[in-house]
């Protein structure tokens, strides 16, 4: 049922059980569900899945897998005014991409008829009634957190009248908001969810799946538990904010006398420097602060895929952050660690120069072109080598040269010798500047005896740098991504500011003309590589046959940048 989920860190967490697994063990010990574990992932199709969902998905599918059970994907599509087919499609795609496959694909809307019949049953049992109060009046009657509510004047209608009215609600006799069906529980309950919750509202709206078959739609509380029950779910895992709903979840199921799943709540996963609420993500998209749901800066799964994040990194991240009853804020660097870990093992190396500085090797023959063998992945030599052409005119990274090098700068500077990866040692002899004093070219010499990068005399060099042959380089656009926000926790912003005020202006930087070694030619959309010394990159969907576009998935860890930052701060 699950696929491609081996070798997750959970293997290293053996013996450590979180509270959910302990509950399941207890159920298995008592025989409550006959040893069965059947879970479900129940998104509402009103937006794209994000990293927080990845945790819920991994948990639900992972649990079932561990206990030899099954998991359904179920769309909680009970509110047609907010839901769209586009979201259904993207969710299906994202769950698959994450590496999971479901036992059954279901929709809450599959159960509309059954839910309706059960509502009728509740009316017949005298525990549900049609209320004519307006939304405002209902709110007013509900009381407050500290004061009990008051009963609706329509609360004690006869069963016959309720049945008649409910039938006519379904038949479309009433306008939106004219009536609702409510459960008759306790208007004085200290838990406001039990103060006669609404079961059905009238919504003359077209549903993505049921079209115009219905004009009354069940509320979450009425639909969710019963849907779980129908599917034979044993453990209904949801987030903390539903704790107060559990008594209601249990109440409905007990009234109906049907299979009773156990609702279990766990803490949401938040990550620093981004936002995770659907409302905020929707604003980012609608107000065009990003280019779409899959803009690589977004925390959505489709954005992660586009940016080049391997699904295994997300799964490992979900596993290692654990499950508890605290709503935590995990450091984005934790996620980045798992992204790097996975990509380092699996992705080929390539040399690419983002900000080119021309280097002319004055003692290298004009027309000579050599080809060097460079390892595809030093982590896995079995992958072999690739050929990289070398010639008299090269590009190196501007950052790799300093005319007056500060302490601890190991790279190229006048008179200093460095290694060009897999090629030769070169030495900087002369710096060429334009009229404004900008460095435009370096004149260097190479040492032919260091061919392949090894010095015969055993002399050492402090830096090995990436490079690209000017005549052979492939031009590409490269998009560098940084954190979406300038502050780790959006909750820490000034009260009179909006989270949009904290969008990182450098969250995206576009380099129009970068130079990549020719082996990159023909790379397909989605192809992941490491640009040596720079980071991991993936070919973006904006690429065309004529022009490659790369997204930086994540940088490499970088001691030098860190040194500069700490020096700048001090």
Partner RNA sequence: UGAGGGAUAGUUCAAUGGUAGAACAGUGGACUCUGGAUCCAUUAAUCUUGGUUCGAAUCCAGGUCCCUCAGCCA
Q: Which of 22, 86, 113, 501 binds RNA (CB under 7 A)?
A: 22
User: Is 66 a binder of RNA (CB under 7 A)?
Assistant: no
| C-alpha atoms less than 13 angstroms from C-alpha of 344 in its C-beta half-sphere | 12
CB 11, min distance to RNA, A: 12
What are 475's strand-pairing partners? 515
Segment contacting RNA by CB under 7 A, of 113-121, 291-299, 333-341, 467-475: 333-341
| x/- map, 199-228, RNA, by CB under 7 A | --xxx-------------x-xxx--x----
Q: Which of residues 147-166 bind RNA (CB under 7 A)?
A: none
Query: Which of 553, 542, 549 lies closest to 475, judged by CA?
Result: 549
Q: Which is nearer to RNA, 3 or 86 (CB)?
A: 86
Long-range contacts of 158-167 (CB under 8 A, 24+ apart): 159/123, 159/124, 159/126, 161/130, 162/123, 162/128, 162/129, 162/130, 163/120, 163/123, 163/124, 165/130, 166/119, 166/120, 166/123, 166/130, 166/200
CA–CA distance from 307 to each of 377, 410, 424, 447 (Å)?
21, 31, 34, 40
Spatial neighbors of 202 by CB under 8 A, at least 6 apart, are 169, 174, 175, 176, 177, 178, 179, 180, 215, 216
User: Would you put residue 539 in left (φ > 0), alpha (ψ -120 to 50) or beta?
Assistant: beta
Q: Which of 21, 32, 44, 96 is catalytic?
A: 44
Residue 172 engages RNA in binding (rule: CB under 7 A): no
Tokens found for residue 10: 């959970």
Nearest distance from residue 390's CB to RNA, in Å?
A: 12
* Binding of RNA by 79 (CB under 7 A): yes
Residue pair 215/221 in contact by the 8 Å Cβ criterion: no
Active-site residue, 173 included: no
Report yes or no: 305 and 97 within 8 Å, Cβ to Cβ.
yes
C-beta of 320: minimal distance to RNA in Å?
Answer: 6
Q: How many CA atoms lie within 13 A of 118 on its CB side?
A: 23
Among 92, 127, 138, 525, binds RNA (CB under 7 A): 138
Q: Which is nearer to RNA, 448 or 547 (CB)?
A: 448
Active site residue 44: yes
Out of 379, 403, 498, 509, which residue is the one contacting RNA (CB under 7 A)?
A: 379
278 is catalytic: yes
Subset of 2-21 contacting RNA (CB under 7 A): 16-19
Binder among 377, 391, 445, 486 for RNA (CB under 7 A): 377
123 versus 248: smaller Cβ distance to RNA: 248
Residue from 121, 209, 278, 358 carrying the catalytic annotation: 278
Angle between helices 220-230 and 112-124 (to 10 degrees): 110
Among 153, 384, 558, 567, binds RNA (CB under 7 A): 558
Rounded Cα gap, residues 453 and 419, in angstroms = 7
Our CB check for RNA shows the closer of 1 and 563 to be 563
Binding residue count for RNA, defined by CB under 7 A = 91
Check binding of 198 to RNA (CB under 7 A): yes
Here's the x/- map for RNA, 98-127, by CB under 7 A: it reads as ------------------------------
Contact residue for RNA among 191, 362, 385, 398 (CB under 7 A): 191
Please list the active-site residues. Answer: 44, 268, 278
């Amino acid at each position: 049922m699950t696929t491609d989920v081996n070798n997750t860190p959970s293997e290293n967490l053996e013996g450590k059980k979180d509270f959910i697994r302990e509950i399941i063990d207890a159920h298995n010990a008592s025989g409550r569900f006959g040893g069965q574990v059947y879970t479900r992932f129940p998104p509402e199709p009103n937006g794209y899945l994000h990293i927080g969902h990845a945790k819920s998905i991994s948990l639900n599918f992972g649990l079932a897998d561990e206990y030899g059970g099954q998991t359904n994907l179920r769309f909680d599509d009970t509110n047609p005014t907010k839901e769209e087919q586009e979201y259904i499609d993207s969710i299906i795609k994202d769950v698959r991409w994450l590496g999971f496959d479901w036992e059954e694909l279901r929709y809450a809307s599959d159960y509309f008829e059954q839910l309706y019949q059960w509502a009728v049953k509740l009316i017949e049992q005298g525990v549900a009634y049609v209320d004519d109060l307006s939304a405002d009046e209902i709110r007013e009657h509900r009381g407050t957190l500290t004061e009990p509510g008051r009963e609706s004047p329509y609360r004690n209608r006869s069963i016959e009248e309720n049945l008649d009215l409910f039938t006519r609600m379904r038949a479309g006799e009433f306008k939106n908001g004219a009536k609702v069906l409510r459960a008759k529980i306790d208007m004085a309950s200290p838990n406001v969810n039990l103060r006669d919750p609404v079961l059905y509202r009238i919504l003359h709206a077209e549903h993505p799946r049921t079209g115009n078959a219905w004009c009354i739609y069940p509320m979450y509380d009425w639909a969710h538990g019963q849907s779980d029950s129908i599917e034979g779910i044993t453990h209904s895992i949801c987030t903390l904010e539903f704790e107060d709903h559990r008594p209601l979840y249990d109440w409905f199921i007990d009234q109906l006398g049907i299979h009773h799943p156990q609702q279990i709540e766990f803490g949401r996963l938040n990550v620093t420097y981004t936002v995770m609420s659907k409302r905020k993500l929707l604003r980012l998209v609608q107000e065009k602060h990003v280019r779409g749901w899959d803009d690589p800066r977004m925390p959505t799964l489709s954005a992660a895929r586009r940016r080049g994040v391997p699904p295994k990194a997300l799964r490992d991240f979900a596993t290692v952050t654990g499950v508890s009853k605290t709503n935590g804020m995990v450091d984005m660097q934790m996620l980045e660690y798992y992204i790097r870990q996975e990509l380092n093992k699996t992705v080929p190396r390539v040399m690419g120069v983002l900000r080119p500085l021309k280097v002319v090797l004055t003692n290298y023959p004009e027309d000579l072109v050599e080809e060097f063998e460079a390892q595809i992945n030093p982590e896995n030599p079995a992958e072999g080598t690739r050929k990289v052409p070398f010639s008299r005119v090269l590009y190196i990274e501007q950052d790799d040269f300093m005319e007056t090098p500060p302490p601890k700068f190991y790279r190229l500077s006048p008179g200093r010798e460095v290694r060009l990866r897999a090629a030769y040692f070169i030495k900087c002899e002369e710096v060429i500047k334009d009229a404004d004093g900008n460095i435009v070219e370096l004149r260097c010499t190479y040492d032919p005896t260091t061919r392949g990068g090894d010095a015969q005399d055993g002399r050492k060099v402090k830096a090995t740098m990436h490079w690209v042959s000017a005549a052979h380089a492939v031009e590409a656009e490269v998009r560098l991504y940084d954190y979406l926000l300038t502050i780790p926790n959006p909750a820490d912003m000034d009260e009179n500011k909006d989270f949009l005020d904290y969008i990182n202006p450098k969250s995206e930087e576009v380099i129009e003309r970068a130079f990549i070694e020719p082996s990159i030619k023909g790379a397909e959309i989605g192809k992941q590589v490491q640009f040596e010394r720079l980071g991991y990159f993936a070919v973006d969907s904006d690429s065309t046959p004529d022009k490659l576009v790369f997204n930086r998935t994540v940088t490499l860890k970088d001691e030098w940048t860190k040194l500069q930052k700490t020096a700048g701060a001090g």
